[in-house]
Structure 1
């Protein structure tokens, strides 16, 4: 299995949502900052989208857009109009009976689209989302038809609520993400900086996969360079240029992301996590964790555990 597949196979999109919607005339909707990966496919017509701090992007029939950064955004026919908060907009549409309509009446200025949203937990997600821009615009081209099909199937599964619908929707969400990343990588090429793009380099991807597979191993730059078939200096320079950080810095970040996930569960001690990730002492691990995550591991674990309990309530 290639390293990108290995990382993506560990991600399990959760809480999938999908909705088919239509609107016409002049409209503008404000969406707040969110904890989801959101995606839209325009089925017909035209509209605009803009993430907070970004320029407006025109969407036409066949286009797909991915919003992995969690920023607030606006969607509408004219983004200069006063924006209606999304909750108010949905209430208005439900009252009009125009939401989740399978065969809406057509009009010249109508736009129909399907939108999806899902969570992406785990340390792999933190690396992936950090490597992506806040908005990915996939113009109509090869591969977009597949993306739209995944969203349409998600909407159908969640709407019909047949046995196993939730599981099918979660798998479709994962397939959508993989296909979107494929199209994105094809469009952007391999000269970008970041973890995701480094995985397309056959010599670097093997070393990243090795660190992910055995984070507790006492990796050195020399050892990793040998796996890549490169000299130590060439590997170190190439890795930093591609990933944006030095090899051991990346390894430390990966270890801390793994530790953060385990601390959130609240079932393991800091000492046991430290040993399992290759640290000889809890003190050394705590120092590294504080440097990467911004606070000591025990405090991090308590805060995240309380947050999870509050969310469950």
Structure 2
């Protein structure tokens, strides 16, 4: 499994398609704060999106979509001067395959959904993303457009198993948007996600994720990247924001924390699974990174502000 798939699996990603919005005339809708990631895809017309705390609204046109990753309140509108109605007041109007019709519809159509993540690990992904991601209509995004169109059909023409199909399509949309984000990364973007855009760093991170229990050294990791040890160490830190060995340690502790929550394995067994021969050395590393001993974390008494890979 590749690194991005690893992280999304660890985060217990769940996808949901909440429905469509068909509007006409002048309109504006406000949404409150939210957990996880929200997405909207515009199938017809265009709209403005304003996120609380962001300086300027963003215009989204037909064939484009946007994701919101910081949970901030936002509003979408045909015109930012229009007074917004609360989205919750529109829920009783859901009809025609979970599509809300507002002001007669016919001029604007969008599909919305959201992704939930495991609360205590969500920042692994969320802190890599800006408050709003605008994905424009480009020739290379035909698969994204196909997924969105299929979601529209599942909403318009409900079929047996339609909810599962729509959720899987939504997951594909998220992964495709993350790929777009990688290809368009800025020079000052730092973190494990952005390092995946570099083939050599991706090979190293994949190797760490595939074998967290291996006896990795800086020299062995540099070999995975086919680079000298010094050049590799500098490049890795530049892209990820951590040294290779620090990233490895934090990934191991993230895996260990997940097993402490979800398995009955002993602390010693979990330590061996992530590369530590003794329980003592594992416990020392875990406490340093996660800010509490593994036995305390496993009993559900873990502290709130622990560290994760950058």
TM class by shorter chain equals: 0.7 to 0.9
Q: Confirm or deny that 1:200 pairs with 2:197.
A: yes
The DSSP-based 3-state class of the residue aligned with 2:75 is strand
Question: Which of 217, 220, 235 is the equivalent residue of 1:238?
Answer: 235
| Structure 1 range deviating more: 165-174 or 215-224 | 165-174
Distance 1:121 1:89 in 2: 29
Q: Confirm or deny that 1:171 pairs with 2:172.
A: no
Distance 1:216 1:161 in 2: 46
Match of residue 47 from structure 1: 47
Match of residue 87 from structure 2: 86
Post-superposition offset of 1:113: 0.9
Match of residue 305 from structure 2: none
Distance 1:19 1:52 in 2: 23
Post-superposition offset of 1:3: 5.5
Question: Which of 259, 263, 268 is the equivalent residue of 1:262?
Answer: 259
The DSSP-based 3-state class of the residue aligned with 2:99 is coil
Post-superposition offset of 1:233: 1.2
Distance of aligned partners of 1:38 and 1:279 in 2 relative to their CA distance in 1, 3 Å threshold: same
Distance 2:102 2:27 in 1: 21
Distance of aligned partners of 1:186 and 1:232 in 2 relative to their CA distance in 1, 3 Å threshold: closer
The one-character-per-residue Cα deviations of 1:31-88 (angstroms, maximum 9, x if unpaired) are: 32213x2211112223222333223222222221122333433333355666544323
| Structure 1 range deviating more: 214-223 or 1-10 | 1-10
TM-score when normalising by structure 1: 0.79
Match of residue 14 from structure 1: 14
Question: Which of 116, 121, 145 is the equivalent residue of 1:119?
Answer: 116
Q: Confirm or deny that 1:187 pairs with 2:184.
A: yes
Q: Confirm or deny that 1:303 pairs with 2:303.
A: no
Cα contact 2:192–2:239 (8 A) shared by 1: yes
Number of residues of Structure 1 aligned to a counterpart in Structure 2: 300
Q: Confirm or deny that 1:137 pairs with 2:138.
A: no
Cα contact 1:38–1:68 (8 A) shared by 2: yes
Gaps spanning 5+ residues in structure 2: where?
A: 303-310
Cα contact 1:67–1:134 (8 A) shared by 2: yes
Post-superposition offset of 1:203: 1.7
Match of residue 151 from structure 1: 148
Cα contact 2:68–2:131 (8 A) shared by 1: yes
Post-superposition offset of 1:142: 2.1
The one-character-per-residue Cα deviations of 1:93-124 (angstroms, maximum 9, x if unpaired) are: 44x989615999556xx432111223355999
Match of residue 63 from structure 2: 62
Distance 2:4 2:39 in 1: 21
Match of residue 252 from structure 1: 249
Distance 2:274 2:297 in 1: 17
Cα contact 1:13–1:170 (8 A) shared by 2: no
Cα contact 1:12–1:120 (8 A) shared by 2: yes
Across the aligned residues of Structure 1 and Structure 2, the Cα RMSD in angstroms comes to 3.5
Distance of aligned partners of 1:267 and 1:78 in 2 relative to their CA distance in 1, 3 Å threshold: farther
The DSSP-based 3-state class of the residue aligned with 1:303 is coil
Post-superposition offset of 1:171: 2.7
Match of residue 306 from structure 2: none
Cα contact 1:50–1:57 (8 A) shared by 2: yes
Cα contact 1:42–1:112 (8 A) shared by 2: yes
Post-superposition offset of 1:212: 0.4
Distance 2:131 2:43 in 1: 22
The one-character-per-residue Cα deviations of 1:239-285 (angstroms, maximum 9, x if unpaired) are: 00011111011111111221222222142232321121112333432
Match of residue 308 from structure 1: none
Distance 2:129 2:231 in 1: 26
